[in-house]
Copies of this chain bind each other. A is one copy, B any other.
Amino acid sequence: MYSDRIRLPSLLEKIMSADEAAALIQDGMTVGMSGFTRAGEAKAVPLALAKLATSSPRKISLVTGASLGNDLDKKLTEAGALARRMPFQVDNTLRKAINEGKVLFVDQHLSETVEQMRSKQIKAPDIAVIEAVAITEEGHIVPTTSVGNSASFVAEAKQVIVEINLAHNLNLEGLHDIYIPAARPGRGPVPLINVDDRIGTKAIPVDPAKIAAVVICDTPDSPSTVTPPDDETQAIADHLIAFLEREVAAGRLTKSLLPLQAGIGSIANAVMCGLLKSDFSGLTMYSEVLQDSTFELIDAGKMDFASGCSMTLSEECGKRVFGNMEKYKDKLVLRPQEISNLPEIARRLGIIGVNTALEFDIYGNVNSTHVGGTKMMNGIGGSGDFARNAHTSIFVTKSIAKGGAISSVVPMVGHVDHCEHDVDVVVTEQGLADLRGLAPRERARAIIDNCVHPDYRAALNDYFERACAKGGQTPHILREALEWHINLEERGSMLAKG
């Protein structure tokens, strides 16, 4: 039994229940788990750990690739099992605990977590818990729908728990390309030159003696929660595609563009869907998460190849893709997030990066993470890895939120994740501002004229003009710079009067 999934016979003896495996996780341990954007997370052991922690309290530092599905962050938080969490999350319950200071959250560039572990600057996992479709004859681990940080967690951890998830089809095998940069000093270039280059192995290498437990489970990934395009996201997509068409017309890009990177979420997904109806062809992706839109572009013959570190699909798209993996396999690769997000590669390839802003200010500084300057939403994710190193770094958002109580374009952002140097283009449903080569005062003019919702335009214009009268490279009136956020906090709307 399970010999097609666990091909090194000695490891069949390591099969145990999730409860037994979870008991290996002690209070105070650092645990590295698979999982990236609700794809490929270990499922049975974290659930058993949450149960165990309720009766036998233990708090861990949980490090993952990115967000987990199946409400695992919720359940672990409710069980009081999380002391620390990094580098990304999207769960409501955990988010609340983070913002209350009950769980310490370390928000990191997603390419950097395992680099810091490798150089012993942050603690390596005591235990790695990795979801797999199979274990090879050599005892190596074949990941599922994400690679995330799993390969480096396995390399750095003292012990490894493998979850064989029968809900994943064995046909995922061969999809992955596992490459870990060498330690420093002495590291060479990462030898990836084309989006479809394979530079590593198809499974995660590990000394089988390190595998302490094998757990069988049969729970699917949570489906994607991305919503279909609406009028605003469609307008954003239209502005962006018109911009790309102008770039082609100006000879700065060809009709296959450059490798596309799109952050997760409904806006970026709408932008990618917009490419379906465009004249571009021979497109490629070099991104983190492959969403429904990636497969729609492949199916439509618009996209030749997509490289990611996870696949997060809707139920319907998942059926189509996972049920026909052989059709997609030569057009796909999943890499460790350190490689999918590596600055070296993003710059070498010259990606076109499309990421979602929570808000941006009139000078093009972007807040991706903190509501009202203080409360964590999800984390910076890979946006910083990509934005700084992109050929063209694009941020998208709807111009207003909460029925107009919030303008996504503000005098000064309450928190900066991407400074103006890293932001080339900003887009809302109102329009697009091309900021390349502009000084801050010119950037402000372009943003106010093109991106701001009409309800807020006069107020921003007024702020900017009075700020310019005071002077400075980046004119501000410090007494008013954060007033819109204060209004929102105190009166429920950015333009409310006292």
Give A residues with C-beta under 8 Å from B: 84, 98-101, 104-109, 112, 115-116, 119-123, 184-191, 193, 250-252, 258-259, 342-344, 347-350, 365, 369-370, 372-376, 380, 384, 388-389, 391-392, 414-421, 424, 436-439, 441-442, 467-468, 470-476, 478-479, 481-482, 485-486, 489
The reply to whether A119 and B473 contact each other, CB–CB distance below 8 Å, is: no
Chain B: which residue is nearest A468 at the CB level?
Answer: B101
Q: A476 to B376, alpha carbons, bound, how many Å?
A: 12
The reply to whether A439 and B105 contact each other, CB–CB distance below 8 Å, is: yes
Q: A375 to B440, alpha carbons, bound, how many Å?
A: 12
On whether A419 and B421 interact (CB within 8 A), knowing A191-B189, A370-B474, A374-B472, the answer reads: no
On whether A98 and B184 interact (CB within 8 A), knowing A121-B436, A344-B344, A437-B123, the answer reads: no
Question: Smallest CB–CB gap between A450 and chain B, Å?
Answer: 18
Q: A476 to B372, alpha carbons, bound, how many Å?
A: 9
On whether A99 and B471 interact (CB within 8 A), knowing A104-B439, A478-B372, the answer reads: yes
On whether A119 and B442 interact (CB within 8 A), knowing A258-B184, A375-B471, the answer reads: no
On whether A374 and B474 interact (CB within 8 A), knowing A343-B344, A344-B348, A365-B416, the answer reads: yes
Q: A415 to B419, alpha carbons, bound, how many Å?
A: 9
The reply to whether B439 and A106 contact each other, CB–CB distance below 8 Å, is: yes
The reply to whether B437 and A121 contact each other, CB–CB distance below 8 Å, is: yes
Q: Which residues on the B side are within 8 Å of A473 (C-beta)? A: 98-99, 105, 107, 369-370, 374-376
On whether A107 and B189 interact (CB within 8 A), knowing A474-B374, A482-B478, the answer reads: no
Q: A249 to B241, alpha carbons, bound, how many Å?
A: 54
- 19 example contacts (A-B, Cβ-Cβ < 8 A) are as follows A99-B472, A100-B471, A101-B441, A101-B468, A107-B473, A109-B388, A109-B421, A116-B437, A184-B349, A343-B343, A343-B388, A343-B389, A370-B474, A374-B471, A376-B473, A384-B421, A416-B419, A417-B419, A478-B486
The reply to whether B374 and A424 contact each other, CB–CB distance below 8 Å, is: no
The reply to whether B188 and A373 contact each other, CB–CB distance below 8 Å, is: no
Q: A481 to B384, alpha carbons, bound, how many Å?
A: 25
Q: A106 to B438, alpha carbons, bound, how many Å?
A: 6
Given contacts A189-B191, A344-B344, A478-B485, 17 further A-B contacts (CB under 8 A): A104-B441, A105-B473, A119-B391, A120-B252, A184-B391, A185-B258, A185-B349, A187-B348, A189-B190, A343-B347, A373-B476, A373-B481, A376-B473, A384-B421, A415-B474, A418-B419, A482-B482
The reply to whether B350 and A119 contact each other, CB–CB distance below 8 Å, is: yes
On whether A421 and B108 interact (CB within 8 A), knowing A121-B437, A344-B344, the answer reads: yes
The reply to whether A470 and B374 contact each other, CB–CB distance below 8 Å, is: yes
Q: Which residues on the B side are within 8 Å of A437 (C-beta)? A: 106, 116, 121-123
Question: Smallest CB–CB gap between A261 and chain B, Å?
Answer: 14
Question: Smallest CB–CB gap between A167 and chain B, Å?
Answer: 34
The reply to whether A350 and B184 contact each other, CB–CB distance below 8 Å, is: yes
Q: A189 to B374, alpha carbons, bound, how many Å?
A: 40
Q: Which residues on the B side are within 8 Å of A417 (C-beta)? A: 419, 421
Q: A374 to B119, alpha carbons, bound, how many Å?
A: 38
Q: A101 to B369, alpha carbons, bound, how many Å?
A: 32
The reply to whether B350 and A475 contact each other, CB–CB distance below 8 Å, is: no
Chain B: which residue is nearest A375 at the CB level?
Answer: B472
Question: Smallest CB–CB gap between A146 and chain B, Å?
Answer: 22
Question: Smallest CB–CB gap between A491 and chain B, Å?
Answer: 13
Q: Which residues on the B side are within 8 Å of A119 (C-beta)? A: 252, 350, 391
Q: Which residues on the B side are within 8 Å of A104 (C-beta)? A: 439, 441-442
Question: Smallest CB–CB gap between A191 and chain B, Å?
Answer: 7
Q: A116 to B348, alpha carbons, bound, how many Å?
A: 13
Q: A476 to B474, alpha carbons, bound, how many Å?
A: 23
The reply to whether A478 and B389 contact each other, CB–CB distance below 8 Å, is: no
Q: Which residues on the B side are within 8 Å of A436 (C-beta)? A: 116, 121-122
Interface centre among A109, A473, A489 (most CB of B within 10 A): A473
Q: A188 to B197, alpha carbons, bound, how many Å?
A: 12
Chain B: which residue is nearest A416 at the CB level?
Answer: B416
Q: A346 to B110, alpha carbons, bound, how many Å?
A: 18
Pick the 4 closest A-B CB pairs, nearest first. A374-B472, A189-B189, A376-B473, A184-B350
Question: Smallest CB–CB gap between A490 and chain B, Å?
Answer: 9
Q: Which residues on the B side are within 8 Å of A259 (C-beta)? A: 185
